[in-house]
Structure 1
Amino acid sequence: MFDNFNDDDRGQVGIGTLIVFIAMVLVAAIAAGVLVNTAGFLQATAEDAGQESVNKVTNRVEVLNTHGVVGAEQDIDNITMTIRLAAGSSSVDMNETSIKYLSGGNVTTLTNSTNLDGDGDAISSERTFALYKVTDDDGSFGVLNSMNDRYEVEINTSAIEGSNDANLGGGLTTGEQVTLEMTSRTGGTTQVILTMPQQLAGRNPGDPVEL
């Protein structure tokens, strides 16, 4: 039944075929290495981009309340905001935080000018804002690193508006609107839009007004 079976037949592979096979294995290994490296790079890039996006959303401040001070010209000479960390935010350094000030007649970027401990007399100008301590658990004034920390940010609207030659009279007038955008170092932004009271007549200079 098996008379035609030849035990002398042998399968042979030529050296050329062997070389091609080894070359294919090497190419596949190199390609796999490239794919692994590319996947790792893309993963790291995605993680960095994701962390930056999270920081822009979370690392920012929250404005609790705002008030202004009436000036001699029956206008608002300065604006004070009480701030704290926004929910879920890590620490925010107010020394590295800028405030974009936008009104009907002015647009400028303000930086922190306060080099004191938060209890002294800070000065704000047409290019800076002043920072005051309300509560600070660990004495790290300038850096909001606890949900219990509270700072006051003071903006001198009289200096800013008075820097415009077209408006030498002082601060913000009744009904005027101002937009404040506070941006932390990581890009987290808090926007506040304030409208000055419609009626300031009868107010004495120095009187506080809720905004």
Structure 2
Amino acid sequence: MKITEFMKSKKGASGIGTLIVFIAMVLVAAVAASVLINTSGYLQQKAATTGKESTEQVASGLQIIQVMGKVNVAADDIEYITLIVTPNAGSGSIDLSKATLMLTDGNKKIVKKYAADEDAFDSDKGSLFTGLSWTNIDTSATEFGIKEIQDADNSCAAATPVINKGDVVAITISNVGGELTFDQRTSVSGTFEPEFGAPGVISFTTPATYLTQGVVELQ
């Protein structure tokens, strides 16, 4: 009985040690909360940026409408290749100065980029197979030329060849020096890679014979 009364009447006291532990717990909780808030803010920003970039990557891209070649019957070869290109449906604006054209005949692969000068750009929306489309491409450089076909908002220019919804351009490369071999029945493949988004796919087989001097549809 006396022991029970003694235990009921006993009072505890918080010493300095307990107080230090309590303050330490509060500080740790505050630091942890600060770290969590900062981390969640950073992750939210990264998620938003990644989501935007992923959307651009998936939704944007190039579509190759047609591939044509200019035949040199005497050399039994194709001298120039032209791609008719437009953005995919729903695609954002695409800067062609950052695009890369890759092509292979099975034995050799070439990589071409835009030369970014007036000689490699043709704003004349007239006949496709005159002027720059065939003859003004530098045969010694790793470059392609651009000719406007359709550009209602004039977004595509020599210094800033940007295409967007509804724009159609011709991308031309020279093979005058026989950089690639386009013999009869040669399988040719490649891609036209924009800075972001889906690339345009190139895949065709050259004709069985080159009988006519002029333009042939390849793809």
Return closer, same or farther for 1:51/1:60 CA change in 2, 3 Å cut-off: same
- Which residues of 2 match residues 6-155 of structure 1 at below 5 A? 11-72=12-73, 73-113=75-115, 115=118, 116-119=121-124, 121=132, 122-125=136-139, 127-141=142-156, 142-146=161-165, 148-155=166-173
How many pairs were matched up? 197
Identity %: 31
Between stretches 58-67 and 21-30, larger displacement belongs to: 58-67
* Residues 146 and 172 in structure 2, CA contact (< 8 A), matched pair in contact too: yes
1:174 is matched with 184
Q: How far apart, in 1, do the equivalents of 2:18 and 2:34 lie?
A: 24
* Residues 59 and 184 in structure 1, CA contact (< 8 A), matched pair in contact too: no
Return closer, same or farther for 1:87/1:124 CA change in 2, 3 Å cut-off: farther
Q: Deviations over 1:162-181 (max 9, x none)?
A: 247xxxxxx51111122221
- Which residues of 2 match residues 155-170 of structure 1 at below 5 A? 155-159=173-177, 162-163=178-179
Return closer, same or farther for 1:158/1:117 CA change in 2, 3 Å cut-off: closer
Report the 3-state secondary structure (helix = DSSP H, G, I; strand = E; otherwise coil) of the residue aligned with 1:137: coil
* Residues 59 and 197 in structure 2, CA contact (< 8 A), matched pair in contact too: no
Return closer, same or farther for 1:185/1:84 CA change in 2, 3 Å cut-off: same
Report the 3-state secondary structure (helix = DSSP H, G, I; strand = E; otherwise coil) of the residue aligned with 2:21: helix
Return closer, same or farther for 1:152/1:124 CA change in 2, 3 Å cut-off: farther
TM-score, structure 1 as length reference = 0.80
Report the 3-state secondary structure (helix = DSSP H, G, I; strand = E; otherwise coil) of the residue aligned with 2:176: helix
> How far off its partner does 1:15 sit?
2.4
2:217 is matched with 209
* Residues 84 and 168 in structure 2, CA contact (< 8 A), matched pair in contact too: yes
> How far off its partner does 1:129 sit?
1.0
Letter in 2 for 1:118: S
TM-score, structure 2 as length reference = 0.77
Q: How far apart, in 1, do the equivalents of 2:58 and 2:204 lie?
A: 22
Q: How far apart, in 1, do the equivalents of 2:32 and 2:107 lie?
A: 61
> How far off its partner does 1:186 sit?
2.8
Letter in 2 for 1:206: G
Between stretches 10-19 and 73-82, larger displacement belongs to: 10-19
Structure 2 gaps, min length 5: 125-130
